[in-house]
Structure 1
C-alpha cells in the first residue's frame, strides 16, 4: 500500500521545494507537478509531489489524519 501525505509548498527553487507538513518542513522534488507555485497544496509520496490538490481537500485530509492520530493516542 502506498501513502501520500498532504503538504503546502513554502519555497521553490527550480525543481525542489520546501514543503510544510503541518509544522515540519522538508525539501521535496517537483518533477511531476506542472507549474508549481508557493502556497500550492500537494500530495507527497517518497519525497516527490505527485499531485496538486485544492485547499478545501487538503484541509479535510489533514483533519482526518489528526482524528486518526487522536484515536491512536487514546488506544
Structure 2
C-alpha cells in the first residue's frame, strides 16, 4: 500500500533562540520543532503559518489558506489521520 505524503499547515508558536533554522509549530494541537531553513532569513515569525512536510516548513501561507487546507485535508480521512500520527511521532531535535 502506498502512503500519501501531505503538507500540513501549522502555526509558528516559537522561534528557536539557539538555532535560526528551527521553530516550534503547532498543528491541530500537536507541537513539533520543524526546520524553517528552506525559507528566507527573517521571513518567518511567531504567529505565521507554514506548510509542513517531513519536518520542514516548505512555504509560508496565510491564515485563510491554512484554514482552507486543513478543512480539505480533514476530508481525506485516513491519509490525514496518518499524517497527523507521523507528525506526532516525529522529532528532528
Q: Would you say how many aligned residue pairs link Structure 1 and Structure 2?
A: 71
Residue 37 of structure 1 aligns to a residue whose secondary structure is: coil
Distance in 2 (alpha carbons) for counterparts of 1:53 and 1:16? 17
The two structures have a TM-score, normalised by structure 2, of 0.67
Q: Which residue number corresponds to residue 72 of structure 1?
A: none
- For the pair 1:9 / 2:17, whether they are aligned, the reply is no
Compare the two structures and name the one with the higher strand fraction: 1
Q: Which residue number corresponds to residue 69 of structure 2?
A: 61
Tell me, which stretches of 5 or more residues in structure 1 are unaligned? Answer: 70-75
Q: Which residue number corresponds to residue 36 of structure 2?
A: 30
Distance in 2 (alpha carbons) for counterparts of 1:58 and 1:25? 16
CA RMSD of aligned residues (A): 2.0
